[in-house]
């Protein structure tokens, strides 16, 4: 059995698209009919996220942790207890491609670190184009990259247990797990083959997370432009 684990906190606006995509990936013919269970970890949800998830026919896990590392860990433990041999992780504001899970397994590694892309920057308003250019210039969406995203991560059950699982961190729990896997000597595939589209939301859920990094990039670009403009204005005629 394969497990897909998705933590969610008040994601009613995007969870349905996320789960439709995950269910499609679970039915990919390259999986040869192997059972796939999708666990949605509903962490302190007060909106319709849980109702939407239940209607999608996935396995809901209600927790009150307000901690993404603890939520991922709880979902992983449930999937393992139900017999999962492989754990695939994504986020509630992301959409995996149809062959996402199949591509993770095809890489035949202990763990897979995939890349992400953004198809809609409009949430950033007047800064959308600036941010799109920044991402294109600084993000390496290719084989052999060194990006780590909880939205596109896979690991065998054996390697996950050996590494000690997710630490209960409010941010960078994915980085900590990959570092632990490396310390254990796990074979990690750094691949752009498993594809995930994620959101460019303006309201960061965690300091240091993907959304927070995007907001920081906007601030840095604007500061650099302001400094350049000030320097130009100070030049003598």
Q: Is the pLDDT of residue 81 over 50?
A: yes
pLDDT tens digits for 181-230?
999 999 999 999 999 999 987 665 666 566 666 666 655 655 565 555 55
Give the whole-angstrom CA distance, residue 178 versus residue 166. Answer: 9
HSE-CB for 5 with a 13 A CA cutoff:
31
CATH number of this structure's domain 2-230, picked from the four choices 1.20.58.100, 3.90.930.12, 3.90.550.10, 3.40.1280.10: 3.90.550.10
The pLDDT assigned to 201 comes to: 73
Cα diameter, the chain = 74
The strand order across the sheet containing 188-190 reads 59-63, 36-43, 2-8, 86-89, 153-156, 111-113, 188-190
8 Å CB contact between 25 and 101: yes
Query: Which element (helix H / strand E) includes 87?
Result: strand 86-89
Those residues with Cβ within 8 angstroms of residue 81's Cβ, 6 or more apart along the chain or in another chain: none
Look at residue 237 in the predicted model and tell me its pLDDT: 45
pLDDT of residue 139: 95
The more confidently predicted of residues 152 and 134 is 152
Per-residue pLDDT reduced to its tens digit, 22-56: 999 999 999 999 999 999 999 999 999 999 999 99
* H/E run at residue 21: helix 15-26
For all residues of the chain together, what is the average pLDDT? 91
Whether pLDDT at 91 is above 60: yes
Compute φ and ψ for 153, nearest 5 degrees: -145, 140
Give mean pLDDT, residues 106-110.
98
Q: Point out which residues pair with 206 in neighbouring strands.
A: none
Parse the chain into domains and list their residue ranges. 2-230
124 confidence band (pLDDT: 50, 70, 90): confident
pTM of model > 0.95: no
Task: Quote the radius of gyration of the chain (alpha carbons, Å).
Answer: 19
The closest alpha carbon to 144, from 196, 107, 92, belongs to 107
């Amino acid at each position: 059995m394969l497990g897909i684990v998705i933590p969610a906190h008040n994601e009613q606006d995007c969870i349905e698209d996320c789960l439709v995509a995950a269910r499609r990936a679970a039915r990919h013919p390259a999986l040869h009919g192997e059972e796939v269970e999708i666990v949605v970890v509903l962490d302190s949800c007060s909106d319709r996220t849980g109702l939407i998830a239940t209607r999608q026919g996935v396995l809901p896990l209600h927790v009150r942790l307000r901690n993404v590392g603890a939520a991922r860990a709880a979902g992983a433990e449930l999937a393992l207890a139900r017999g999962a041999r492989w754990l695939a992780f994504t986020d509630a504001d992301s959409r995996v491609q149809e062959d996402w899970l199949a591509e993770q397994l095809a890489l035949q590694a202990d763990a897979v670190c995939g890349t992400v892309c953004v198809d809609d920057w409009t949430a950033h308003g007047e800064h959308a184009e600036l941010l799109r250019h920044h991402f294109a210039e600084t993000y390496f969406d290719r084989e052999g990259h060194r990006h780590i995203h909880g939205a596109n991560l896979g690991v065998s059950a054996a390697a996950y247990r050996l590494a000690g699982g997710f630490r209960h961190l409010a941010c960078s729990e994915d980085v900590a797990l990959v570092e632990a896997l490396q310390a254990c000597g796990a074979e990690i595939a750094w691949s752009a083959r498993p594809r995930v589209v994620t959101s460019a939301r303006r309201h960061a859920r965690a300091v240091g997370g993907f959304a927070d990094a995007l907001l920081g990039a906007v601030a840095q670009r604007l500061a650099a432009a302001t400094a350049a403009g000030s320097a130009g204005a100070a030049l003598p005629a």
